[in-house]
Amino acid sequence: DAVGKLVIHALMESPGMVGAYRFANTRDGLKLTQEVEAAVFFRRAFDQIGFAPLTSMFWYGEDRSGARLDWRPEIHDSDGLAIWTGRGERLWRPLTNPHRVVTSTFSDDGPKGFGLIQRDRDFAHYQDDQAHTERRPSVWVEPLHDWGRGTVRLVEIPTEDETDDNIVAFWTPEAPVRAGASVDLRYRLHWTDDTPDGDLARVVATRTGRPGEPGKQVAAEGRKINVEFRGANLAPLRTATDVEADIVAANGELRYLAHYPADRRDDQPGAEALWRVTFDVVPSGDQPVDVRVVLRQKGQALTEVWTGLIFPERQ
């Protein structure tokens, strides 16, 4: 167009719906932004519909508890789902390659954004000099109006190869769609390296292992979880005694909880600090344990909220 955008118009037609789309693409260096306008008309009713769908691939990451069939240390195009809720909470769900299809839902009202993120940018963690998966773009969905109540849905599909796009994320409105209804949607897609900047420390790694205390007898049940947070706001808190690990587990028991700074002190301006939170999770039955972890000081969040599902069959 006249201001240098590449504008693409598209029509969609299927037995169940028709629609018109406009994609306005602008580039700033390596960052690409697509402003999407969509008008969708439904010919029949749908119990569930997905908007702003994203796909990616996750075979395995730094958590090597599953089987590895390749020499490369990590193979994935994204390593986490990030959500910025309507209440202002920042969530991080590390991606997994499950034993069975797993669908996770995150209820929200007026989400500020969500995306599939490739946060780990260190070549040494991948050692892939052909595909260079450490360079894979992240994509962030930014709603441009109030999307109301609904859920961000994450679908993780088992895979034994890097050629399968086994990760899907999308937004689903709370109300079913009726025949004859229409939806107007506006949002931006940010193709970039990470989530929008914020003041909170970010999750940089998730690892699991045998339960129990190191150097002592291994516990008979459960899994050990190690979550790492990194941020400049954590650097001045190395000697603080009022930093708390707020850990909640539904359908399970927590044991051997600990949190502490885990890297060398760096007093340079803007220096970041690494904190670890470790704990064991013991499922109460045959249902997965839903765990949330966040570091707080005087009730205020210092970090993103790490959230994960721990399955009994993967103890």
Residue 106 belongs to a domain: yes
Q: Are residues 140 and 267 in the same domain?
A: no
Tens place of pLDDT for every residue, the chain, 315 residues? Answer: 556 689 999 999 999 999 999 999 999 888 899 999 999 999 999 999 999 999 999 999 998 655 567 889 999 999 999 999 999 999 999 999 999 999 999 999 999 999 999 999 999 999 999 999 999 999 999 999 999 999 999 999 999 999 999 999 999 999 999 999 999 999 999 999 989 888 999 999 999 998 988 778 777 789 999 999 999 999 999 888 899 999 999 999 999 999 999 987 777 777 899 999 999 999 988 889 999 999 999 999 999 999 999 988 654
Residue 261 belongs to a domain: yes
Residue 269 belongs to a domain: yes
Total number of domains in the chain: 2
Q: What CA–CA distance (Å, rounded) separates 59 from 55?
A: 13
The runs of H, that is alpha helices, within the chain are none
Q: Are residues 162 and 306 in the same domain?
A: no
Strand pairing partners for 141?
Answer: 114, 189
Q: Taking the model in full, what pTM does it have? A: 0.94
Q: Are residues 94 and 141 in the same domain?
A: yes
CB contact at 8 A, 223 and 310: yes
Question: Which CATH number covers residue 246?
Answer: 2.60.40.10
Q: Are residues 217 and 76 in the same domain?
A: no
Residue 146 belongs to a domain: yes
Indicate the SS3 state at residue 258.
Answer: strand
Q: What CA–CA distance (Å, rounded) separates 130 from 152?
A: 33
Q: Which domain, by its residues, includes 232?
A: 202-314
Torsion angle of the four alpha carbons 249, 218, 102, 184, in this order, in degrees rounded to the nearest 10: 40
Residue 1 belongs to a domain: no
Q: Are residues 29 and 79 in the same domain?
A: yes
